A and B are shown apart, each in its own frame.
Chain A
């Protein structure tokens, strides 16, 4: 009997749970500014997240999916991307979207039920939030194929959760990425929960990263709560993608500290003790510790940052709340490039109807 294939999955981590360096850090991590930047985006993401939950609880935002605890993954991966790369998020990558240039107001509009929230002013080619789990993975393959056909040094980054890795769409996208050597980075944010289904009930695979092997891709694990590690690993995968080295699947290990959405009550299916344990590993505190210890991050700077983020989020909230909804013709006017005559009468009828 001959062994015809083996595989290895590497896990990358630079900081321990308390923020102490485990060994040599990547070059960018010795740059205080860069680290502060990463930290700032994570704080902004969390501040936004808290505000969004508060708005939902007061009836001013729709059902919202919190990213509490996952800021390291979102911010790390987006920070590694270039502006001309394309992000295809699921519904929990608020930090990534913010870093890519989606404004807090746009995010609030999206979650508040206004389509204008997906008409990003800045990242014009980033995809909007994808709700049907994993169904955007093939889009990433399509976008990456476009880059390849046009010879553009761009990459597509598709982000999804642990549950999504059970989806056929995700496998099909990985498979074609391998077959066609497409410039994609697939990021599986393993926050251990797919609503109420824990990771070990999702699949028998020992890691999610090894699902890449089946598609002929490299699979890697990274400590998702170590934003330095995330930044580094994603960066490597992007470089590889852009240089024709094909796609990678990166499993970012983290934990969903909040409920699945504001319509979920996680205490129905998981232990508060378990959650409490994972708070000890969360990414924002971890980087703060590191910043404090290794780069003298001060209380003043901390307070200033918190204040600045709060102000930014507050301003966005005011703007969002002040914005009246679009007129009803918006339902029709953007459906096709040009309003078809077949729909003109319906549009008129819709406008004529006044709500009671």
Chain B
């Protein structure tokens, strides 16, 4: 297998790019640096992916490595397992999280356990990427946030970037990781923010939470697109003299609880924000851990600002479902009443 055109290492360029462009940069970088990387999915080839995440890759790299699959999500879940067992590094795209559920069979029954059930003889260094989340006024099934389903699967990782640089660095880390990673891209912020990304091939750490704002009054925890509401809320709170510490979880599984625990030890108050429905959402896992190892540091009840336990509404009601900065501020104010 050979790479086409590019024969020299691309110089480490700093590029102003959006989140989806960060994904594209990372995929290109991975294809370039590692001949075992293969990209597959529906419409990822000449069309460049319905969100253009794989745009132009087929021009730069051999079409055998950027393959359009037939329309079968179960296949897109199973192909990478065969590829990975034979030593390749597949990065498969599922077009929307709403269509990912047939993949869960392959993730739970095979990818997550291939290494342990063969005691290391076979393994699955694969990445399943999918755009997820609401706020794009999309038709039914295109706005799901079901990341909690994946966090419950032992043996994999679940990674969610919140910015262009994080998308670049975390996706590279995911591709290089020797075990399965579900990489969920918050499509609401695919193009909303531009950031400088240095295409130097450097990965960010997995299993690591990022403190994106320091403060000592209340810890606000989120991931993905919700972080923009969280940061807005932090700004509003600051005008009241309340300094929020903001944590971007980034890797939901495996969770870096230490960073969260240290923050709540400092602030004593915690608000967890996620788009996904509140019950059984990943916020519950964080809350449970805080109520365990972090209990004696809590001054106030743990608040979760999350989607309601309803089916994600269609666009006309979407704004009433998605956690807003206002709801985050209100929750923060509630916990600030405790001292």
Contact = CB atoms under 8 A, between A and B. Distances in A.
Touch between chains A and B, by CB atoms below 8 Å = yes
Interface of A: 86, 115-116, 118-120, 124-125, 127-128, 130-132, 135-151, 156, 168-169, 172-173, 175-176, 179-180, 330-331, 334-337, 340-343
B64 A149 contact: yes
Nearest to B120: A334
A130 B111 CA distance: 12
B207 A115 contact: no
Contacts of A144: 82
B120 A119 contact: yes
Minimum-distance CB pairs A-B, first 10:
A142-B82, A138-B78, A146-B86, A337-B178, A143-B82, A139-B82, A342-B254, A172-B72, A119-B119, A172-B75
Q: How big is the B interface, by class?
A: 35 or more
Interface string B139-158: 00000000000000011000
12 contacts: A138-B106, A139-B82, A142-B81, A142-B90, A145-B79, A147-B86, A149-B1, A151-B1, A334-B115, A340-B207, A341-B207, A342-B207
Contacts of A139: 78-79, 81-82, 85, 110
Interface string B218-248: 0000000000000000000000000000000
B70 A175 contact: yes
A118 to B, nearest CB: 5
Given A139-B78, A168-B74, A343-B254, A146 B88 contact: yes
B110 A135 contact: yes
Interface of B: 1, 38, 64-65, 67, 69-70, 72, 74-75, 77-88, 90, 105-106, 109-110, 115-123, 154-155, 177-179, 207, 254-257
A120 B121 contact: yes
Nearest to B180: A336
Contacts of B256: 342
Contacts of B122: 125, 127-128
Contacts of B69: 176
Q: Which of the listed residues A144, A145, A147, A335 has the most CB atoms from chain B within 10 Å of its own CB? A: A145
A172 B74 contact: yes
Given A139-B78, A143-B85, 19 more contacts: A115-B117, A118-B117, A124-B121, A125-B122, A135-B110, A138-B82, A139-B79, A139-B81, A139-B85, A141-B78, A144-B82, A145-B38, A145-B79, A148-B64, A172-B78, A176-B79, A336-B179, A337-B178, A341-B207
